Structure 1
Amino acid sequence: MPHPICPLCARDIPPDVPQSRHHLIPKLKGGKGGPTVLMHHICHREIHATLTEAELARSYSTMDALRAHPRLAKFAEWVAKRPPGFRSKVPGGMRKR
Structure 2
Amino acid sequence: MANSDPICPLCDRPIPEGVGSLHHLIPKLKGGKGGPTVLLHQICHKEVHATLTEAELARNFNTIEALRAHPRLNNFLNWVRKRPPGFRSKVPGKRRVR
TM range (shorter): over 0.9
Identity value in percent = 72
Question: Hey, what's the Cα distance between the residues in 1 that align with 2:5 and 2:92?
Answer: 28
Matched, 1:7 2:3: no
Question: Hey, what's the Cα distance between the residues in 1 that align with 2:93 and 2:44?
Answer: 16
- How do 1:15-30 and structure 2 match up within 5 A? 15-16=17-18, 18-30=19-31
> 5+ unaligned residues in a row in structure 2: which ranges?
none
TM-score under structure 1 normalisation? 0.93
Q: Name the residue aligned to 2:91.
A: 90
Shift of 1:92: 4.3
Root-mean-square deviation (CA, aligned residues, Å) is 1.1
Question: Hey, what's the Cα distance between the residues in 1 that align with 2:40 and 2:33?
Answer: 18
- How do 1:4-83 and structure 2 match up within 5 A? 4-16=6-18, 18-83=19-84
- Give the letter for the 1:32 counterpart: K
Shift of 1:96: 2.5
> 8 Å contact 1:49–1:96 — kept in the other structure?
no
Shift of 1:86: 0.7
Question: Hey, what's the Cα distance between the residues in 1 that align with 2:20 and 2:4?
Answer: 16
Question: Hey, what's the Cα distance between the residues in 2 that align with 1:29 and 1:58?
Answer: 9
Detail structure 1 runs of 4+ shifted over 3 Å in the superposition: none
Question: Hey, what's the Cα distance between the residues in 1 that align with 2:91 and 2:5?
Answer: 27
